[in-house]
Structures are given as C-alpha cells and as structure tokens.
C-alpha cells in the first residue's frame, strides 16, 4: 500500500497515475478531508475504465496509513507573492516535521518519498526528524529534471524521446547539474551529435523549464506526478531502477551532512546503493556549487 499526504493537484495526479499503472492501493490524506474523499471517489469511479480493482481511500486520518510500504509527502505551501525563499522553507519545514512525526507513529517501517519543495532541504529535514535509516528517506526532483532534459535533447535532435538516456544530479532548482557527458541517444553520446552551444542551450532550457511552466499555468502537475509514479513503481516492484534521487550523503562525492540529488539504484529497500560517477572538472564544480546552495539553505533554516 502507498500513502500520499497532500491531495492537491500533484498529490491527486500522482495517486491517479499509481492506480492507472496498477502499482498499488492508495490512501490519500489531506487536512481538508472533503478534498481527499472527493478525489478518491472520483478515482474510484474511473477505476472500471482502467480495469483496476484496487482500493483508493480519501481521509484526514493519519492512522489510515498503517501498513504502508511507501509514504509520499506532497503537502506544503507554494511560494506566494511577497514571500521570501526563507519564509517558504520555514513554513514547509514546520509542515513536513509534523507530518513525519505522524508517519513515524503509524508507518514506522515505510520508506518516505519527499516531494514538497524545496525538496532537497525537506528531504534533509525528513531524514533528521524521522530517525530512519538513510536509504528509507529520499526526495523526488532529479527524475523530473531528467524528464525535461531528455525532452529537450530529443527536440534538438529530432528523434524519439524514448531513445534518450540521461541523468541530472544536484539541487532540484537553479543549480541542478544535467550530466551531458553521460547523456546518449540509443547508446550514442550526445557530445558526438551536438555542438557545445547546442548542449548549453539544452542545459539552460532544462534548468528554466519548471519556472516557465509555473509562469504560464501557475504550477507543474503532470510531469512531477509521472516522476512520482516512476519512483513508486521502482520501489513497490523492486525494479532497481537507476535514477537521480535526493538522498543524504555520508562522504559520497566528498560531501557530508547534506541531502542532494545523486545517481542511485532505487528498489524495494528504497536507495539500494549510491552510484559514484567520475565527473568532468567543469561538472564537478557545478555540483560543488549546487551542494553549497543546499547547505546554505539548511543553515539559514536552522538559524531562523
């Protein structure tokens, strides 16, 4: 069973994807109980069309998550006009801490997937608050960034997105690090197919595309919901997928006491192992900058 906490647009879309792909039963929890119940009822009525016989429950009762193998936290506030980054972090940190305490109480053996932004900082907070082993607490962010990276590579080359393989690491934010040196098309490195200028254009589009969607429609929904389902599938079915996931580092890549996106094997136990890649000097500098950004945000939050 999977529990999703937060029945807003991303949480409910993720729940629907998990049902649509027949990954698991879903408990959808929200402080606005009618919203959670209404979303669950709507999905239940859709289930015959999907030929899905699983359960979808909407509630405000945290005890309903008992027995969950995976708990996905999407609850939190979006940044509002006039709200500083620190204000948003402080607000969401309080929400995440209170939710994690409920998770520990009712689903002590679960894995926690953090979606609430800023996701790397919230993953760090969830890890510290939960007391879980680090493999059981991780954040969604780089998978979404990778979907965007793959899309722009395919668009630039005029090829199927299905044939693109790529990774993004680092912060889920402006300092993210798309790994051009590890991106390929049907096994062909993109660095043999695209100019340096084209690659830089793709990287810039990848970094700014989330903000562009928010500018145009107010929030990102479909892509993050799809990324959540990909991760849920890897965990519930023990598929050992290789992907960029925000995880707490204890010396990997030379970094300590920070949660940030790195390549991992994601499976039944959560982060089965972290993959340490050899990075180009320029890429290494970008990753170091990204870690600095996240560490500074954590320091600001802890000092506030």
Instruction: Write the DSSP string, the chain.
Output: -EEEE--SHHHHHHHHHHHHTT---EEEE-SSHHHHHHHHHHHHHHHHHHT----EEEES-GGGGTT-SEEEE---PPP-TT--HHHHHHHHHHHHHHHHHHHHHH-TT-EEEE-SSSHHHHHHHHHHHH---GGGEEE-SHHHHHHHHHHHHHHHHTS-GGGEE--EEB-SSTT-EE-GGG-EETTEEGGGTS-HHHHHHHHHHHHHHHHHHHHHHSS--HHHHHHHHHHHHHHHTT--EEEEEEEEEESGGG-EEEEEEEEEEEETTEEEEE------HHHHHHHHHHHHHHHHHHHHHHH-
CA distances from 26 to 198, 210, 230 (A): 42, 27, 15
Whose tokens are 């009525």? That residue is 45
Phi, psi of 94 (to 5 degrees): -65, -40
Quote the Cα angle for 135-137-142, to 5°.
95
Active site residues: 172
């Amino acid at each position: 069973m999977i529990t999703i906490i937060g029945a807003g647009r991303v949480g409910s879309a993720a729940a629907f994807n998990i049902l649509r792909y027949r990954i698991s039963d879903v408990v959808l929890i929200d402080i606005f109980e009618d919203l959670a119940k209404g979303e669950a009822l709507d999905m239940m009525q859709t289930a015959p069309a999907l030929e899905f016989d699983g359960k979808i429950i909407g509630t405000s009762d945290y005890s309903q998550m008992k027995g969950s193998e995976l708990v996905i936290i999407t609850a939190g506030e979006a940044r509002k006009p006039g709200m500083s980054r620190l204000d948003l972090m402080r607000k969401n940190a309080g929400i995440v801490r209170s939710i994690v305490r409920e998770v520990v109480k009712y689903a002590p053996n679960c894995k926690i997937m953090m979606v609430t932004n800023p996701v790397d900082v919230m993953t760090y907070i969830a890890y510290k608050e939960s007391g879980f082993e680090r493999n059981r607490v991780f954040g969604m962010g780089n998978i979404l960034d990778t979907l965007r990276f793959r899309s722009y590579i395919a668009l630039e080359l005029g090829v199927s997105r299905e044939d693109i393989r790529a990774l993004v690491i680092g912060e889920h934010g402006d300092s993210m690090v798309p790994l051009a040196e590890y991106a390929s098309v049907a096994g062909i490195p993109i660095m043999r197919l695209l100019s340096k200028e084209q690659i830089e254009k793709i990287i810039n589009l990848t970094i700014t595309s989330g903000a562009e969607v928010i500018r145009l429609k107010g929030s990102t929904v479909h892509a993050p919901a799809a990324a959540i389902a990909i991760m849920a599938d890897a965990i519930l079915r023990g598929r050992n997928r290789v992907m960029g996931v925000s995880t707490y580092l204890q010396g990997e890549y030379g970094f300590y006491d920070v949660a940030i996106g790195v390549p991992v094997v994601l499976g039944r136990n959560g982060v089965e192992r972290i993959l340490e890649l050899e990075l180009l000097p320029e890429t290494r500098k970008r990753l170091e900058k990204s870690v600095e950004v996240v560490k500074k945000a954590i320091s600001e939050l802890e000092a506030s």
